[in-house]
Amino acid sequence: MDPIAQGVQSPTLSGRELASTMNGGTPGDDRVPSPAVFKGGCGDCSSGLAAPFPFSMAFQPIVDVVAGRVHAYEALVRGPAGEPALTVLAQVTHANRYAFDQSCRVRAIELASRLGMVESGATLSINFIPGAMYRPENCVRATLAAARRHRFPLDRLQFEVTEGEKVDDPDHLTAIFREYRARGFRVAIDDFGAGYAGLGLLARFQPDVVKLDMELIRGLNDDRVRRSIVGAVLSVCAELNIAAVAEGVETRAELDALRDLGVRLVQGYLFARPAFEELPPISALA
């Protein structure tokens, strides 16, 4: 999801408008450094790293409109008192983003567990930046330790990479996806249809979930072109056995149009806004 367009909504670490900041560069510099620059941090993966500054999480539900229940919650970074994501992400630098990425994963699992997400049966979805991992098999250790500590089932942890992030090393991203899946995690491509990779990324690796960017969803009930594009993407996902999530659903008309297209997983303000350190209730689906 686009953090600028949605105001307080922002992925845990990613987002098209924040790419250069997260990559340790200046605005307009969307290069992702080689994973080799993180070699020094990987020795600490087994024990995790201390958070470089205070932050917390909000949660927004992904709703199964057929079953009438919450399918998953996306963890969204916030300041320690609920401040907008940008106030936190502005503090992330090239030097501390590895520690921040590791801390985000652990914090999301800890808080979700405390709020009863394990008992609810919902999946926890966490964003990540591929360049923040050097060796995926090592950098995932703190995540595994947190999951064991809080008895969070690994198959209910989902890691999203936003398609809006430019990835100069797609082989590295594919390796991360494969390592995550081997560990039992689910993997997702966020903001699909909005960024650099598109169908090319999907051709290289088939994730468990594709999240359709809100720009494709906005007003599709009155837009034949958007409906056609979304319908085509849904057809590809069905052929490849990939679940599709429609992001940014804000109106009943959009929801009705998505239902007509066969979409069952949706996320957006129509159901719930992100809630700080809470699992928000969803609006009625009738």
- The answer to whether residue 34 scores a pLDDT higher than 60 is no
- The answer to whether residue 71 scores a pLDDT higher than 50 is yes
Lookup: tokens for 4: 């600028």
Sign of the Cα pseudo-torsion (153, 92, 280, 219, in order): negative
Query: 271-283: per-residue pLDDT in tens?
Result: 999 999 999 999 8
pTM of the shown model: 0.82
What's the 3-state SS for 85-110? HHHHHCCCCCCCHHHHHHHHHHHHHH
The region, left, alpha or beta by phi > 0 then psi within -120 to 50, assigned to residue 170 is alpha
> What is the pLDDT, as a whole number, of residue 200?
79
- The answer to whether residue 32 scores a pLDDT higher than 50 is no
Query: 196-239: per-residue pLDDT in tens?
Result: 556 778 888 899 999 999 999 999 999 999 999 999 999 999 99
Query: 179-195: per-residue pLDDT in tens?
Result: 999 999 999 998 887 66
